[in-house]
Amino acid sequence: MADALTIQPDLEFIREVTENSGGDLKKCMQCATCSAVCSLSTESRPFPRQQVLKAQWGMSEQLTGDPAIWLCHDCGDCTARCPRGARPSAVMDALRMAAIRRLAFPRFMGSMIGRRENGAIMFLFSALLLLSVAKLPAFHTAARPLIFADMFPVSRLEMFFYIVSAFVVLVLAISAARFIKELRSAGARGAILPSLLPALIEIFLHRRFAGCEAGKVRRWGHLGVLFGFIGLATASTVLGVEMHLGWMVTPMPLLYPLKMIANLCAVVFAVGVSILIWNRLADREKRVGSSFCDWYFLSLLGGIGLTGILSETLRLAQSPDWMYSIYYIHLSLVLTLFLSTPYSKFVHFLYRTIAMAATWQESKSTGRVQLAAGGPDAALPEGPGLPHAIGMRS
Amino acid sequence: MDKKLGVYICGGCSIGESIDVDRLAELARKDAKAAVCRTHACLCGEEGVAQIQADLASGAVNAVAIAACSPRAKMERFNFGARQLVERINLREQVAWSHKPNDEDTQMLAEDCLRMGVARLEKMEPPEPLAESISRTILVVGGGVAGINAALEGAEAGYDVLLVEKEARLGGFLGELKKTFPTHAPYTQAENNGLAEKVRAVSAHPRVRVFWSTQVVKTEGQPGMFDVTLQNHHGSETHRVGSIVMATGWKPYDRSKLTLPGCDLPDVVTNVELERMAAAGPVTRPSDGKVVNSALFVQCAGSRDPAHLGYCSSVCCMSTLKEAEILRDQNPDIEIFVIYRDMVTPGQYETYYQSVQDHALNFFMKGMVTGLERDANGKVVAHVDGSLMGSPMRVPVDLVVLATGMAANSADNDGIRALRDARRTLERNESETQRTEAEKVIRQLEDREGTEILHLGYRQGPDLPILQSGFPNSHFICFPYETQRTGIYAAGAVRAPMDSQLAAEDACGAMMKAIQSVEMAAQGQAVHPRAGDLSYPNFALQRCTQCKRCTVECPFGAIDEDEKGTPRFNPYRCRRCGICMGACPERIISFKNYSVDMIAGMVKAIEVPDEFADKPRILIFACENDAYPALDQAGMNRASYDASVRVIPLRCLGSMNIVWIADALSRGIDGVLLLGCKFGEDYQCHFIRGSELANRRLENVKDTLERLQLESGRIELVQLGIDEGDRIPHLIDDFVARVRELGPNPYKGF
């Protein structure tokens, strides 16, 4: 028998979760409709019912390391059936945000989650930071054809992103370590490394997304974003490294294979993001239950996709008035995404992968299929490697 | 009475298409010697009924046999006055609709039905109604919310009411409370107690006489003429009342009986103690008088636990919500934890639950409190297990509240009686073994001493018998206020756990029954379930052997005894079930229109073919409350069953006298099937335990059978509900098949 938990409700935590879930946390009467209709909930982890109860009782410590909040795919089946309008899926979403905040490194950065003004500050900060590598006065007078390197020389930009990436990787590594520690203390003791491969296969196939009734179309949106993002990130990284080493010069011809793959990925990505945004807007429950975090992350992805495609189009059109400014915005958004990775919904790719791997064995033994990955909502996959700048140049 | 028999046979509702009505009429004329016999294609039509009325008016006929539909149909149509002798012969539901048309066996069945009906009519006499002077004053015992409302309802309906309260003030439990459950939209807040207004109204009502600080010390007599002695510090006086509403309310379940470890700690209080603390001033910790910053409620403290109260007390969840609100009014920052098994907040109360639950500092969880202990900081730690948390929890709080349940404020009549009997055994100085046994009983039941409330002068004990969990009501479904003592009705929390709103409604219902009881008594009529019945049993006491079976078995305590043990019948207490008639081994008890002789005559009227005819005869004694309607139901559904059965309805299976079975078997009837109501814990018998008593008598019958060298399988008792008409065909056909297997009754033809 486990040790007794001493109950001291974390009132601040209750307030935070109540606020971020649309104020419906207290409405739950523990009827268990939610965990019964959920296709992913298991007997040993009866989410979202158990998590809603823990949240009502302010048990923040148990919830930070609870893998179940990450096993949820936020499809909204539970919210659709909840007889009291408690929006369990919105509560789960708020719990994920709370966990991200508590796991963040450095800790004060956790507080940026969910604050509107901090979102804007992050973007302005990124834009200013980028100026440090820009070739400021010269690019308007550049010789034709106009290329983006006129504004951001490849060597400087690559070095800049190497440093930023290293920083982000370090921060994510610390967050991951914290999360694993919390997982262990919350009783999820499954070995992570041996289960990583089956978990990743599940994630790439998105099989369990199909079990959710309320958001079938989301599966395709999420898959599009996942593969579009991985494709673009890989292409950009390969290209960036080759250019840096002097093996390749941009812009590439449109029919160049790598270019074709990158453009295809951009289209898949943009379609995926559009589906996710449409899905969130079309479903009333989902719309009401969406928090700023959801919209912040989705807007970043949407903005990156839009400005990336625009930048390429404007470069092809050789429009000096617009191509540089749009490209600048595009890079600023990419940097914002990078810097806010550990403090936004983006980081679900990390926590969910770990949570799935840590519970992989127990899910096998209880006989219920383990879940695929997926975003708390629109989000990105737990991809291998680092997401590099998307459409950094083209 | 010299009978001029009129037999009226209906051919409608497909009776005529399935039975040869003319042959039946011939039988009536020749064998039954009917003065008048008529057939009609639609007897219940204007013409048919007018014909019967004309025959009655002309004096050609004074006893009417109507061979048509079930006696349960067209009651008003064939009602020729309460004292007119009428026998209904059921040719429709139990012959035409349930058997093969134009078949020899069906025709034989119809003919037997006619013979039985005529036999019954021949022995029937018109009842002579009771006509004593009846008091219409109604006594209400208990001045809580139920008593006050009952008194007001009775007084407003025009009856004089005596309201007796043992405390010096009216109001009972509700009167002590600061707040009550929400009664108005939006049902989100507890309300101030509004009872004071009702207390004023009842105290000032010209038809109500309130007795404060008064107890009932004696209740004698019978409905319509109860003589009730009331005693207070001024002395005692006797009042005559017609009926009684028992509204003695509830008491909190004794917390010392709880087995939860640590429930006797100083900072653990019951919900009732908390209510009293709150009414007196701000609630503080009993141990040190400090402010309560956190409290935990243990729900179902004793309720829904077979070792304590086997039922849901129905108010504790709502009380807890209300008390949470009271505590929060005192201290807005208090943390309140509620550990429940299920929150029971029916109807609009759910809204109140939601509104209390909505507060951020109110924490609800389904789970089980396994123990309480005091920690080093002086807090009470509640150990909670079985919750969704997956691991046990410790919740340290300032105050723990036990939501204890409601126990009825009733007296255990049978316990008191057993105690008194044991005392008498000691006094009489009987044998050693009897004395030891009596001492054991006294030790067990000593605490029942002095708990009497009504002090009834009944042979069967001084109070209302209780059937389950201390509640004195008798039949949960059909007669909600009924007790086992006619003319005494239970209302409010003494009847079933309920809140004040329900108790107020309950009081109204019970008062209506009490009024009905005096009005029926004034007309010499029985109350439910034989409402309107003018007959009552007559005792041929010169033949009585003082065996006391009738006085013991009467479920309503209607029969007292004199010193020698001769029954003293109180007709107004009687429900006319006939259980005494079934019990009497000397067969000295009979009704004018229902007797041992009459049913024996019906049995005799059945024509029994000889053993070579391969036509067995099965007699069915059917309870006319449940089994008989179920047989009708089978007919209405056109469910066919064996035509060898002959059905005799009984007022209650408990009125079955075993002599009928002996008669039937000695006449060559091959089997007897008894259809009665379900008995046991969830009994459905309209007279509490008639079918159970019949079943007990059957044990003796089986011995008799063995002496006669007959197989005991020829007799069976089956418990049948009113809604189980679908069981009839199988039930009967299987029994007939089993009897056929035993072969014909060897007594045939003797």
**Would the pLDDT of B442 be above 70?**
yes
pLDDT in tens, B46-98: 999 999 999 999 999 999 999 999 999 999 999 998 889 999 999 999 999 99
Question: Locate tokens 């139920």: which residue?
Answer: B146
Q: Within its chain, how far is the Cα of B743 from the centroid?
A: 41
pLDDT of residue A57: 93
Residue type for position A6: T
| Tokens encoding A150 | 């006129």
Position B708 confidence tier, pLDDT thresholds 50, 70, 90? confident
Of A192-201, B281-290, B644-653, B703-712, where does mean pLDDT reach its minimum? B703-712
pLDDT of residue B678: 92
**Would the pLDDT of A370 be above 80?**
no
Q: In what order do the strands lie in the sheet with B225-232?
A: B215-222, B225-232, B235-241
Residue type for position A48: P
Whether B394 and A3 lie within 8 Å, measured CB to CB: no
Whether A7 and B359 lie within 8 Å, measured CB to CB: no
Dihedral (Cα; A286, A291, A292, A296), 10-degree rounding? -50
pLDDT of residue A147: 80
Q: Which of A15, A18, A46 shows the shortest C-beta gap to B388?
A: A46
Of A64-78, A361-375, B471-485, B515-529, where does mean pLDDT reach its minimum? A361-375
Residue A369 lies in a domain: no
Q: Are B654 and B698 in contact (CB under 8 A)?
A: no
- A325 and A255 in one domain? yes
Higher pLDDT pick, B428 / B521: B521
Position A157 confidence tier, pLDDT thresholds 50, 70, 90? confident
- Give B660 to chain A, closest Cα distance, Å: 58
All residues of chain A having their beta carbon less than 8 Å from the beta carbon of residue B363 are 9, 56-57
- Give A200 to chain B, closest Cα distance, Å: 29
pLDDT of residue A141: 64
Residue A283 lies in a domain: yes
**Would the pLDDT of B495 be above 70?**
yes
pLDDT of residue A258: 87
- A273 and A134 in one domain? yes
Position B621 confidence tier, pLDDT thresholds 50, 70, 90? very high
Domain of residue A24: give its range. 1-103
| Tokens encoding A369 | 């299929």
Mean pLDDT of A319-324: 83
Q: Which of A2, A14, A59 shows the shortest C-beta gap to B360?
A: A14
Mean pLDDT of B724-731: 96
- A225 and A97 in one domain? no
Q: Which of A5, A18, A27 shows the shortest C-beta gap to B393?
A: A5
**Would the pLDDT of A388 be above 70?**
no
**Would the pLDDT of A42 be above 90?**
no
pLDDT of residue A392: 32
The predicted model scores a pTM of 0.85
Residue A6 lies in a domain: yes
Length of chain B: 750
Tell me the backbone φ, ψ of residue B300, rounded to 5 degrees.
Answer: 50, 45
Between the CA of residue B570 and those of B221, B381, B524, B540, B581, what are the distances in Å?
Answer: 8, 60, 12, 15, 15
The Cα–Cα gap between B594 and B591 comes to 5
Position A137 confidence tier, pLDDT thresholds 50, 70, 90? low
Whether A7 and B396 lie within 8 Å, measured CB to CB: yes
ipTM over 0.85: no
Q: Which of A337, A352, A367 is the endpoint of a domain?
A: A352
Question: Locate tokens 């919209």: which residue?
Answer: A295
All residues of chain A having their beta carbon less than 8 Å from the beta carbon of residue B389 are 5, 50, 53-54, 59, 62
Position A367 confidence tier, pLDDT thresholds 50, 70, 90? very low
**Would the pLDDT of B709 be above 70?**
yes
The Cα–Cα gap between B750 and B735 comes to 24
B705-717 CB burial, b ≥16 within 10 A, e <16: beeeebbeebbbb
Q: Would strands B250-252 and B406-408 be described as parallel, antiparallel, or unpaired?
A: antiparallel
**Would the pLDDT of A381 be above 50?**
no
The Cα–Cα gap between B92 and B104 comes to 17
- A207 and A338 in one domain? yes
- A122 and A217 in one domain? yes
Q: Which of A103, A131, A158 is the endpoint of a domain?
A: A103
CATH of the domain at A296: 1.20.950
**Would the pLDDT of B39 be above 50?**
yes
Residue A140 lies in a domain: yes
All residues of chain B having their beta carbon less than 8 Å from the beta carbon of residue A49 are 388
pLDDT of residue A210: 78
Percent of chain B with pLDDT over 70: 99
Q: Which of A5, A11, A15 shows the shortest C-beta gap to B391?
A: A5
The Cα–Cα gap between A25 and A141 comes to 59
Position B469 confidence tier, pLDDT thresholds 50, 70, 90? confident
Mean pLDDT of B142-161: 97
**Would the pLDDT of A369 be above 70?**
no
Most confident of A59-68, B176-185, B637-646: B637-646
Average pLDDT score, chain B:
94
- A221 and A321 in one domain? yes
Q: If we measure between CA atoms, which residue out of A348, A361, A353 comes closest to residue A42?
A: A361
The Cα–Cα gap between B144 and B730 comes to 52
Chain A's closest residue to B387, CA to CA, is A50
Residue A234 lies in a domain: yes
- A72 and A127 in one domain? no
Q: Which of A75, A103, A131 is the endpoint of a domain?
A: A103
pLDDT of residue B474: 76
**Start-to-end C-alpha separation, chain A:** 60
- A140 and A57 in one domain? no
Residue A70 lies in a domain: yes
Mean pLDDT of A311-315: 90
- A157 and A278 in one domain? yes
Query: Can the peptide bond before residue A251 be classed as cis, meaning omega within 30 degrees of 0?
Result: yes
pLDDT of residue A390: 33
DSSP letters, B350-407, are HHHHHHHHTSTTEEEEE-EEEEEEE-TTSPEEEEEESSTTSS-EEEEESEEEEEE-EE
Residue A203 lies in a domain: yes
Across-strand partners of B39?
A: B9
Residue A125 lies in a domain: yes
pLDDT of residue B104: 95
- A344 and A268 in one domain? yes
**Would the pLDDT of A138 be above 60?**
no
Position B649 confidence tier, pLDDT thresholds 50, 70, 90? very high
Residue B464's SS3 state is coil
Whether A4 and B392 lie within 8 Å, measured CB to CB: yes
Higher pLDDT pick, A114 / B442: B442
pLDDT of residue A379: 35
Whether A2 and B365 lie within 8 Å, measured CB to CB: no
- A299 and A155 in one domain? yes
- A123 and A98 in one domain? no
Of A151-155, A238-242, A364-368, B316-320, where does mean pLDDT reach its minimum? A364-368
Mean pLDDT of B689-695: 94
Interface test with A, best of B340, B362, B395, B398 (most A CBs within 10 A): B395
All residues of chain B having their beta carbon less than 8 Å from the beta carbon of residue A3 are 391-392
Q: How many domains does chain A have?
A: 2
Mean pLDDT of A351-363: 89
Position B658 confidence tier, pLDDT thresholds 50, 70, 90? very high
pLDDT of residue A389: 31
**Start-to-end C-alpha separation, chain B:** 33
Chain B's closest residue to A85, CA to CA, is B354
| Sign of the alpha-carbon torsion through B122, B123, B129, B132 | positive
| Domains defined for chain B, CATH in brackets | 1-126 (3.40.50), 138-249+448-522 (3.50.50.60), 252-408 (3.50.50.60), 538-590 (3.30.70.20), 594-750 (3.40.50)
**Would the pLDDT of A391 be above 60?**
no
